[in-house]
Amino acid sequence: MQKIIINGGIKLKGEVKISGAKNAALPIMAASLLAQSECIIHNVPRLMDVATMGKLINYLGAEVKGIEENNTISINTKALVKSDAPYELVKTMRASVLVLGPLIVRCGEAKVSLPGGCAIGARPINLHLMGLEKMGAEIKLEHGYVRLKAKRLKGAKIYLDISTVTGTENLMMAAALAKGVTVIENAACEPEVVDLANFLNKMGAKISGAGTDVITIEGVDSLKGTEYRVMPDRIEAGTYAAASAITEGDVLLKNCMPRHLDAVISKLRETGAEVTEEADSMRVKRKGRLKASDVKTLPYPGFPTDMQAQFMALMSLAEGTSIITETIFENRFTHVSELKRMGADIKIQGNTAVVKGAARLSGAPVMATDLRASASLIIAGIAAEGETEISRIYHLDRGYEMIEEKMSALGAKIKRVAAS
Ligand code: EPZ
């Protein structure tokens, strides 16, 4: 086990290059299973979750080659030998469920371990299954697995009660090779859904409406391998933007897409941060005390739940009281008790946190509980006075490429050590 040690009180300054989006790379890797030839995917972040998805695709029979130095992965799925996703892999990464759609259209069957819960919530997949059933899949739940069978899925009209991101992605992938037209209503509008749709269309799919809440997919008979570059990670970008704002820093984020971060940028500006945007970069600086600002997490284009913990760290140092409401996941406040150990004044009332800004945070030993909670502790630690020690940092490695190197290059005093 390892831990991260941070000596805080630093103002971050300089440039940081944003990596490819984890939540676009994962569905795109799963979608490569739909072709019987090679896919070359560029700008793939080197993360634990990407490695887990690579292991899963390899287990299914695909040949996965990661070209380390330039973040390019080649995936050749000419011969799949399995159509199941085992519990050992799914339990470490919920996004494994993304192979469900591709497997059932490629192999006519799929057996995927039910994901089980995680720190932030129950994470059910009932809507994924409802949509596949509407498309003609026969579904059985047995011994913690879901088993699906279908000769060939047929197009259907699917209304999603909740605009689930991976649910939309699974159904889009399945519909790409179904017979007939599928319409997904109340679909997720996240940029990662659009990135997946662009990849599938490059493979020969016929998808329109991605990025809106109605996506139409005209099924085709086959898809071919293609070459694609994954979009920048908007949550990594938001995290570094928050890190600059919380430390009264001045940071230029390169290789990002500010237009994917409208809600986050407008909230940062509300707190008094200065944000200047270019097409593929943004500069975030802040002088003087942050002002309190209320936030409610919502599906895209609303304020992203994946930025809630980072924003709460920011508001812990703001002047005034902020109300932060989490509407997407039922248990996404696990970072609150850790931030309180650093001197934050936060009270939870149901799915709302009342954050009373403190004049300063003080470094303390804290524990990471999920991916984005880890990020909030890192930025709090860099802003706090004294030393912060973060344990269970395997959560962090799932979603942030080279975070210590990137933060150190901005002036942070941060290092990874073996946990005693
Ligand atoms: C995706 O998760 C992201 N993961 C999450 O990012 C992100 O927080 C989430 O979307 C919301 O934006 C990936 O893209 C790999 P949902 P997903 O299905 O698809 C409920 C990170 O930190 N729901 O949109 O699993 C669900 O319980 C991760 O990078 C059902 O009830 O989220 C939740 O309350 C964390 N039934 C809500 O919908 C279903 O069948 C939204 O979940 C599916 C979802």
Mean pLDDT, range 269-298, rounded to an integer: 96
Supply angle C-alpha 339, 368, 244, rounded to 5.
Answer: 60
CA of 164 to the centre of ligand 1 (A): 6
Mean pLDDT, range 311-338, rounded to an integer: 96
The SS3 call for residue 296 is strand
The model's confidence at residue 115, banded by pLDDT at 50, 70 and 90, is confident
The model's confidence at residue 68, banded by pLDDT at 50, 70 and 90, is low
For the chain, percent of residues with pLDDT exceeding 70: 99
Atom 26 of ligand 1, residue of closest alpha carbon: 123
| DSSP H helices in 358-418 | 371-383, 394-397, 403-409
Residue among 93, 123, 190 to mutate when testing ligand 1 (max atoms within 8 A of CB) = 123
Give the per-residue pLDDT at 117. 66
The model's confidence at residue 87, banded by pLDDT at 50, 70 and 90, is confident
Examine the pLDDT at 219 and tell me if it is beyond 70.
Answer: yes
Q: Which atom of ligand 1 is nearest to the CA of 305?
A: 8
For ligand 1, whether the C-beta of 371 sits within 6 Å is yes
Q: Which atom of ligand 1 is nearest to the CA of 370?
A: 22
Mean pLDDT, range 240-260, rounded to an integer: 98
Give the per-residue pLDDT at 119. 74
Q: Give the whole-angstrom CA distance, residue 330 versus residue 376.
A: 18
Q: Give the whole-angstrom CA distance, residue 413 versus residue 119.
A: 29
Residue where the block lists tokens 């016929």 = 206
Identity at 246, one-letter amino acid code = I
CA distances from 181 to 69, 126, 155, 268 (A): 41, 22, 5, 42
For ligand 1, whether the C-beta of 168 sits within 6 Å is no
For ligand 1, whether the C-beta of 395 sits within 6 Å is no
For ligand 1, whether the C-beta of 30 sits within 6 Å is no
Give the per-residue pLDDT at 235. 98
Q: Which atom of ligand 1 is nearest to the CA of 371?
A: 22
Mean pLDDT, range 39-47, rounded to an integer: 96
Tell me the chain's radius of gyration from C-alpha atoms: 21
Examine the pLDDT at 410 and tell me if it is beyond 80.
Answer: yes
pLDDT, the chain, mean: 95
Mean pLDDT, range 377-402, rounded to an integer: 95
Give the per-residue pLDDT at 70. 75
Q: What are the beta bridge partners of residue 345?
A: 356
- In the chain, the N- to C-terminal Cα span, in Å, equals 9
Examine the pLDDT at 414 and tell me if it is beyond 90.
Answer: yes
Contacts of 113 (CB under 8 A, 6+ apart): 85, 86, 87, 89, 90, 91, 96, 144, 145
Length of the chain: 420
Q: Give the whole-angstrom CA distance, residue 269 versus residue 291.
A: 10
For ligand 1, whether the C-beta of 310 sits within 6 Å is no
Examine the pLDDT at 67 and tell me if it is beyond 80.
Answer: no
The model's confidence at residue 118, banded by pLDDT at 50, 70 and 90, is confident
Atom 35 of ligand 1, residue of closest alpha carbon: 306
Mean pLDDT, range 261-282, rounded to an integer: 97
Catalytic residues: 118
For ligand 1, whether the C-beta of 124 sits within 6 Å is yes
Mean pLDDT, range 371-384, rounded to an integer: 97
The SS3 call for residue 413 is strand
Contacts of 167 (CB under 8 A, 6+ apart): 125, 127, 128, 131, 160, 188
| DSSP H helices in 203-323 | 234-246, 262-270, 308-315
Q: What are the beta bridge partners of residue 365?
A: 389
Give the per-residue pLDDT at 86. 87
Atom 1 of ligand 1, residue of closest alpha carbon: 165
Atom 42 of ligand 1, residue of closest alpha carbon: 164
DSSP label at residue 201: H
Q: Give the whole-angstrom CA distance, residue 243 versus residue 224.
A: 41
Structure tokens at 2: 């390892």
Q: Give the whole-angstrom CA distance, residue 173 versus residue 18.
A: 27
Give tens-digit pLDDT for 121-176. Answer: 777 899 999 999 999 999 999 888 999 999 999 999 999 999 999 999 999 999 99
Examine the pLDDT at 114 and tell me if it is beyond 90.
Answer: no
Contact present, 172 and 207 (Cβ < 8 Å): yes
Q: Which atom of ligand 1 is nearest to the CA of 399?
A: 29
Give tens-digit pLDDT for 358-370. Answer: 999 999 999 999 9
Mean pLDDT, range 50-69, rounded to an integer: 88
